[in-house]
Structure formats: C-alpha cells, structure tokens
Structure 1
Amino acid sequence: MFKPILPAYLLSMNASSIQVGLVTSLFTIGAVLIRPFVGYYLIDNQRKSLAICASAALMIITILYPFLNIIWLLLLLRLFHGAAWGVSTTANSTIVVDLIPKKRLGEGIGYFSISTTVGAIVAPSIGILIYDSYSFDILIWSSAVLSLLAIIALQFVSSPINVKCKKKPFRFLDMIYEKEVWFPALLTVITTLGFGAIITFLVLFGKQKGVDHIFLFFLINATVSTLLRPFTGKWYYKKGPWSIIIMSAVLGFFSLVILSYTSNDSQLIIAAILFGAGYGTVMPCLQTWTVQKVSEEKRGAANATFFSSFDVGVGVSAFVLGILAEWISLAMIFRFVSLSFIVVAVLVYKDYINEKYGMNKSI
C-alpha cells in the first residue's frame, strides 16, 4: 500500500527525483542483502517463529513512518523495512513449500503465486484510496492493523518440524541465488522493471495528466489476473512456459505503451486489462518455472531467489528511472520500460528454440 504513495509523500517533503527512486531501491537492497542469511538460517531452524518475528518487525517499522520528517531518516527506515520484508517473504514462502504435498507442488505454488500477485496489485489501489480520502497517518495505521492481523493469523499456521542436518559453510554469493534457476530469475528481474515503473510513477503520472481514478488501474489489474489464472494455469501445464510467457509479455508491452498515452479513465482501463493479462500472467508462470527447475531440497532456495529477483527488478527500475525522470517525461519512461517485455519475449523464444532442438538440457 505504501509503494505508490511514498513517492508523492516524499515530493511533499521537497525530495528530489533521485530520492524518490531511492525509496524503492533502498527497500530492495535491504530485502536482497538479508535473504542469504535468512535462507541459511532456515536450513535447520523453525520457519514459523521467524515469520512471526518478521511480521512484528514490519508492524513496528510501519508505525514509525509518521514520526520521521527528515528525508534521510525516512530513507534509512526504508532500508530496515526492506530487510524485515526480506525475512518475512523468505520464511513464509519456505513454509508454503514445506506444506504443499510433493505431488501437487506445481499446483500449490500456482495458488500461492495468485495470493502474492493479487496482493501486490490490489494493495496499491487500497493505499491510494485511503491516502486520497483520508491522510497518510490513516494509511499508516491501516497497514499496522493488517500487520497485526498477519501476526495473529500466523499463530494458526502449522509448520513442519525441521530435520537437523549438517550445514555447509556459509557463502554469501552461493546463498544469494540458486544457480540452477538463473534463467527464470533473470526473466523475473526484467519483467518487474515495468511493474517498478508503475508503482513508482503511476500516481504522479495520473496527477500530471488529470486522471483522477488511478486506483482503477490496480483494481482492474488484480481482477483480470485472478480471473485468468485457472485458464493460464492449464495452458502452462499443457504447453509449458514458453508460449504463455511470450504471449503475456507482448500484452505487457502494449499495456505500457497505451498507458503512456493515457489521458482519461477509458484508456486507463484498457491499459489495466492488458497489464493484468500480461504481467499478472507472467509472474506466476515464472515462479512455477523457477521451482520446477530444481530438486526438492533446493525448492526453498529457488523460491527465495524468485522473490529476490522480483525485488531487484523493482529496485533497479525505481532507481534508474528516477534518474531518467530528471531528463525525460513520465510518458517516455513508460514507453522506454515497455521494451523490457519485448526483451523477455525474445529471450524466452530463444530458450524455446534451444530446448526444441536439444541444445538446452537444464530444464
């Protein structure tokens, strides 16, 4: 709920475009740097207790926002916020992998990816509505209440007892990503560049263009991606990841191009439908593909790699585009980042050709 609001909130504090970009980038840095340590800890330690502690940390950090009126302190808080987020998402996703029956792992990850995708898409619209209708403080306390509900809900989640095993020595580079899933991880980074542009600049873009109902983009986006999931899931399992990702990436490209020319609600809705069908389909497919590429004991690490790739894509997008926003319009930002979907489509097509003719043995 914070991501689309914080850029506008910082601008009200006279922050620069680079500082606006750092709001997301520092969050990403905190999440990515903490995950290798969390992944190593979770090898033979309780997931549930760590998930509860991380949710409590998220709630406390959230409550601190209104009390920090100095930009650099707010940016520092974002770094710690990202670290708490990294712990929470890694622990939660590992619990999910533990709970899903082995024979239904792909299906279970698909359902879990719906929850994460829809949550990430619905939350911005709720945040915008609360911020526009009430105030930033009300947004903070609403988020704090949700964090409290998460802490309570986690009490009822069962977590399998970990089997103690001999750990290998900790190596940061080995833990930060699972080598076997480098390709879908790379695709995840590139795909989320477009999402990073939207959560960083869409609210500001709407104010510039006089489009009052920006929240519709996020709401329709979530609705479309949810409704399509049963059909796209069947497509994935019948045809594999290549054709569905290519088609969805093309839709994502057109959605950002149309969004860049948007000046009214009708154009915004069209862009939202296409983005929900495109980006909202690509991300669950990439998460499922990531987990399927590794053996059972590496699925937790693969899942953590997927989330880190997501955070890296969003963070890089916010920082780089924040710098570009000093020189080009937000409309041009959306057109520029739309090319990331074309890159994804080309890379996936190349991987399909390699697989078809037996040159790619890693899948």
Structure 2
Amino acid sequence: MASGHGNDVRDRAAKEAERVQEKLWSRNFVLAIGTNLFIYIVFYLLMTSLALYAAQRFLASDAGAGFASSAFIVGALISRFFAGPLIDNVGRRRVLLISLAAFVAVSLLYIPAGSITMLLALRLAHGVAFGLANTAVTAGAQALIPPSRRSEGTGYFAVSTTLATAIGPLMAVLLVTDGNYDGVFLFCAVCSVAAMLVTLLLRLPEAPSAPAAVVNQRDAGGGPQKPERRPAALLSKVFEPRVLPITTVLLVAGLTYSGVLSFLASYADEAGAADAAALFFGVFAAAVLVSRLTAGRIQDRRGDNAVIYPAMALFAAGLALLALVPAVWVVVASAVLSGLGFGTLLPGTQAITVGLVPERRFGTALATYYLMLDIGTGLGPVLLGLLVPLTGFDGMYAWLGGLMVACIPLYYLVHGRAARRVAVS
C-alpha cells in the first residue's frame, strides 16, 4: 500500500516536472497578449461612449443611441458564422492583419460620418472586423500555449481583456471634452495601428492540414466517410459540433452576466445607491484579475471540474446576493464572488473548448465559443427586460442565481462526468 502511494507521488512529481519544462512565456505569446489588449481597449472605449455620441451629435432616440453601441455586437455576431473556416483556411495572421487594417480605417471614418445611418453602418463593419481579429489572435495564442499548461495560459491571455475593461472606459472619460469625440476616434485609430505594428512582429502558428487518415474519414466522428446533406456539411464548416455541448454553459453564463451589465446601474439608482454600481464593477474587475492569474494553474493540475464547479457556485452566490438591498457590503461581497466565478468560468471553458478539438479546428471551435457567448449577452437584456416588470430587479437577480445553480448539472451532463476521459486525436 505504501509502495503504491509512493509511486503515485513520484508520478505526480514527474508530471509536474514535465509541465514546468514546457515553456509558456515566449516572445510571440507576449505579443499576442499585446495585440488582444489594444483590440479590446478600442472595443470597451467605444462601447462606453458611442450611445452618448449618437444622442449628442445626431439627436438619436434612446433606441437609436442604444443600437449605435450594440450594432458593434451584432457585427461581431455575424462574423462568428464565417470566422472559423476563414481563419482555419486563409491563415490566422493574414486574417488578423486585414481585420486590423479595417479597424484603423473605420476608426478614422467615424469622424466624417454625417448621419446616424452611416454611424450604424460603421459600427456593424467595425464589429465584423473585431469578431475576425479577436477569433484569429485567440486561435493563434491557443496554438502557442503548451497543452499541459492550457488553462494557465488561457487565464494569462484573458488578463489583457480584464485590463482593457479598465483602460477603455477611463480613456473615454478623459478624451471626451465639451462633446468633442474626435479625440476618442483618433485614439482608437492609434490603438488599432499599435495592434497592427505588434502583429507585424508576431508569428502565429497556422492551422495544420488535416492528416490523410482524417481527410478520408468524417472529421467529427472518425467513422467511414458517408454522404452528407448540404445543410449538415455547411453547418459542420461553420460550427464545431464537438464544442457545442460545453458552450451551452457559456450561453447561460453570458445571459446571466448580461443582467449585471445591463440592469445593475438602474437597480442601484432605483434603490438610492447610485454609487454602488461603480463600486461593484471596480471590485469585480479586481476579482476577475485575481481569478485569471490563479485558477488556470489549478485547472491544469487538478482537472476541469476542480475549478468549473466552484466557479459556477461562486457566480450563482454573487448573483443571488444582488437580490438583497444593494448596501455597500452586499455590493462588495457580490462583486468578489461574481468576479471570481465569472472570471474563472470564461477562460476555463475556453481552455476546455480548444482541448476538445485538434489544432486545425481551433478557429472554428473558438468562433463557436464566442458565438454562444455573444448570443447569451445579446439576448439576455431583451429577455430579462421582459422579466423585470414581473419580478422587480431583486427578483430578477434571484432568478439569475437560480439559473446558474441549474447550470451546474448541465455542465455535469455535457462535460463534467467525462472530463477525465476527454482526448483529442
């Protein structure tokens, strides 16, 4: 018995030594993080400022001003339907550079745009370019991460997004003076150029060709090639069927998080605690940063279930806390729990997603991942907007907490029960 225990200890030590030997930090991985940071600074800066810009310059209605902001998300959502096969076939770096060139052009075209229609068209185009660039750089970064350190590397890569959530809105406040938004758009162009310059130095591994054995078999199933109807063949190119089950968890997470993004400020204002929303997002961002610097190592060493189950429980508890009166202690506690939970859940499920497919399908798998997240965050405000009049804000957050609890058995069914048996061939 003691001998068996000693062998287990030696096996774990050997695996840990092998894991440490696989180099995570490389020049290209750091450059990929930098590119992603600049892309997301532009995203958050414009998401923060475009609704007010549309209202002030074009006297847009509340609905029109809101769409000036959300049209970007619509464009990104559209891009997810063709981003995967385009990136996997044309090349990650090539798609990234073309998308960033569009980033620069659109940022400058905002300045002469003379109508709300033109502004909306630019937002849609910008969103498409963002979806392509984001998917391409993420697929490239995932290819740079050693498989044994997949979750750790994914967490570090996601830190760039977390930093952008603070830098983007802050720059929007600093650059908008007396209603002059030209500085915002010029700064976006500068960030886009910076992303291009970093990408010119970046060397991303391209998707390898499918092995001959796979070419002669169905890519998703491994059995003999059978005739496929056109709709099924087309769907398999646009979506990655192997990751659809795990991304249903992401769909639910995106929907629940949209309740925080879209309604927390209104809830706090209604309760006479308007400053609580700002406090929440500040603490939330700090908790997300902590989670992304730590949870990945645990996931690599202990397995997916060791972090995903606690992450969902923490996020559910944070949402449920918001059903209470938004006093300072409630807001801080909710922000910590939600930040640790949601901040772990996104990179954790992304690491699972790419671990379910061979490298040649990274682009399509990640496009499917982001598509489900975009659908959740996009539909969430609409569905929850119908729920709030029936339950109130406090009741809505109680329901969202319950929804995340219900997501725990969903995760068990789609991945958790087989987490240790998953292997990619």
Q: TM-score, normalised by structure 2?
A: 0.69
Is residue 184 of structure 2 the alignment partner of residue 122 of structure 1?
no
**Structure 1 residues 322 and 152, CA, compared in 2 at 3 Å: closer, same or farther?**
farther
Whole-angstrom distance in 2 between the partners of 1:264 and 1:69: 44
| Partner deviation per Cα, 1:71-122 (whole Å, 9 max, x = no partner) | 5554443322221111111211122133334554444334223333x14643
Give the AA of the match of 1:268.
V
Verify the 8 A CA contact 2:79 2:128 in the aligned structure 1: yes
Q: Which residue does the alignment assign to 2:61?
A: 15
8 A contact 1:125–1:215 mirrored in 2: no
Check if 1:225 corresponds to 2:288: yes
How far apart are 1:251 and its partner, in Å? 1.8
2:347 is matched with 284
Q: What SS does the corresponding residue of 1:155 show, helix, strand or coil?
A: helix
Label 1:341 to 1:307 Cα distance change in 2 as closer, same or farther (>3 A).
Answer: same
Q: Specify whether residues 179 and 252 from structure 1 end up closer, same or farther in structure 2 by C-alpha distance, changes over 3 A only.
A: same
Q: Identify which of 75, 79, 88 aligns with 2:124.
A: 79
CA contact (8 A) 2:323 2:395 kept: yes
CA contact (8 A) 1:3 1:24 kept: yes
Greater mean deviation of Cα atoms: 164-173 or 123-132: 164-173
SS of the residue corresponding to residue 90 of structure 2 reads: coil
Tell me what 1:145 maps to.
Answer: 190
Q: Deviation at 1:301?
A: 2.3
Question: Is 1:60 the equivalent of 2:105?
Answer: yes
1:168-211 residue CA offsets vs partner (Å, 9 max, x unmatched): 99954223321111122111111111332333344454555442
Query: What is the number of residues matched between the two proteins?
Result: 359
Q: 2:332 aligns with which of 253, 269, 272?
A: 269
TM-score, with length taken from structure 1: 0.80
Q: d(CA) in 1 for partners of 2:49 and 2:131?
A: 21
Give the Cα–Cα distance (whole angstroms) in 2 for the partners of residues 7 and 336 of structure 1: 29
Aligned match for 1:158, one of 203, 207, 221: 203
Q: Look up the equivalent residue of 2:122 and give its one-letter code.
A: L
Q: Which amino acid aligns with 1:199?
A: L
| Distance in 2, Cα, partners of 1:54 & 1:351 | 34
- Name 2:410's counterpart in structure 1: 347
**Higher RCO by CA contacts (8 Å cutoff, separation 6 or greater):** 1
* Cross-structure match for 1:320: 383
Partners in 1 of 2:207 and 2:199 — Cα distance? Answer: 17
Instruction: Sort the Cα spacing of 1:55 and 1:175 in 2 relative to 1 into closer, same or farther, 3 A.
Output: same
1:189 aligns with 2:251: yes
Q: Is it true that 1:49 corresponds to 2:112 in the alignment?
A: no
- In structure 2, C-alpha distance between the alignment counterparts of 1:330 and 1:127, rounded to whole Å: 30
Contact 1:4 1:200 survives alignment (8 Å): no
Q: Which amino acid aligns with 1:122?
A: A
What runs of 5+ residues in structure 1 fail to find an aligned partner?
none
Q: Give the whole-Å Cα distance in 1 for the aligned partners of 2:392 and 2:273.
A: 15
Structure 1 pair 88–177 and aligned structure 2 pair: CA distance change class (3 A): same
Q: Compare CA radii of gyration and give the structure with the larger one.
A: 2
- Give 1:95's aligned residue: 140
The aligned residue for residue 158 of structure 2 is 113
Q: Distance in 1 between matches of 2:122 and 2:389?
A: 24
Percent identity between matched residues is 24
Deviations 1:111-151 (A, max 9, x none): 223333x1464356536754888757254444333223212
Counterpart residue number, 1:3: 47
Q: Within 2, Cα distance between the matches of 1:91 and 1:329?
A: 41
Give the CA deviation at 1:290.
0.9
- Secondary structure of the residue aligned to 1:159 is coil
Q: CA RMSD in A?
A: 3.9
Q: Distance in 2 between matches of 1:203 and 1:69?
A: 31
C-alpha change, 1:51 and 1:249, in structure 2 (3 Å) is same
Match of 1:300 in 2: 363
SS of 1:225's equivalent in the other structure is helix
**Do the aligned partners of 1:45 and 1:162 also contact (CA within 8 Å) in 2?**
no
Which of 282, 293, 310 pairs up with 1:247?
A: 310
Distance (Å, rounded) in 1 between the aligned partners of 2:262 and 2:111: 20
Among 285, 301, 321, the alignment partner of 1:258 is 321
Cα distance between partner residues in 1 of 2:372 and 2:173: 29
Distance 1:74 1:346, change over 3 A: farther
Change (3 A) 1:161 1:192: closer
Cα distance in 2 between the residues matched to 1:332 and 1:145: 44
Cα deviation code 1:230-287 (max 9, x no counterpart): 4422332343223422222222123233345564555433322122111111111111
